[in-house]
Amino acid sequence: MKLGEDFIKPVVWVGDALKRVKLFPPEVRQDIGAALFDVQKGAKPPSAKPLRGVSSGVLEIVTRFDTDTYRTVYAVQIGQQVYVLHAFQKKAPKGRKTAKLDLEMIERRYKEAVAIEKEKNS
């Protein structure tokens, strides 16, 4: 895909990440879509930050709406795609770490994305 002369990276949704995003409020989905479009163009959206404890190149888009926080985790250093690994509503109180179950899911899906890319290139 191209937009003008700029290459737009395709988005690959891993597991049920897209299904989960579709359950978010419309305003949150719109913010996530705009942020992912920035990522597709090679930019880092202002709402994105590295996700600690996972491989480098894994970032999370943090979206706040009303009193809730929504996170969408993606990887950019796997081939020429943007892999969306997980999306969830943060349940822990402010300042708390991402839940262990969510981190484990992200790790599994990261490995799955690497395998998808490897299979594509073999």
Split at pLDDT 50, 70, 90, the class of 52 is confident
Split at pLDDT 50, 70, 90, the class of 6 is low
Q: How far apart, in Å, are the Cα atoms of 28 and each of 11, 44, 53, 65, 100?
A: 18, 18, 25, 7, 23
Q: How many C-beta neighbours within 10 Å does residue 39 have?
A: 19
pLDDT in tens, 82-122: 999 999 998 766 667 788 899 999 999 999 999 999 988 87
With contact defined as beta carbons under 8 Å apart, do 73 and 60 qualify? yes
pLDDT of residue 4: 45
Which residue type occupies 66?
D
With contact defined as beta carbons under 8 Å apart, do 34 and 48 qualify? no
Bridge partners (DSSP) of residue 87 are 72
> How far, in Å, CA of 65 to CA of 109, rounded?
26
CA 119 to chain centre: 21
- The CATH number of 2-120 is 3.30.2310.20
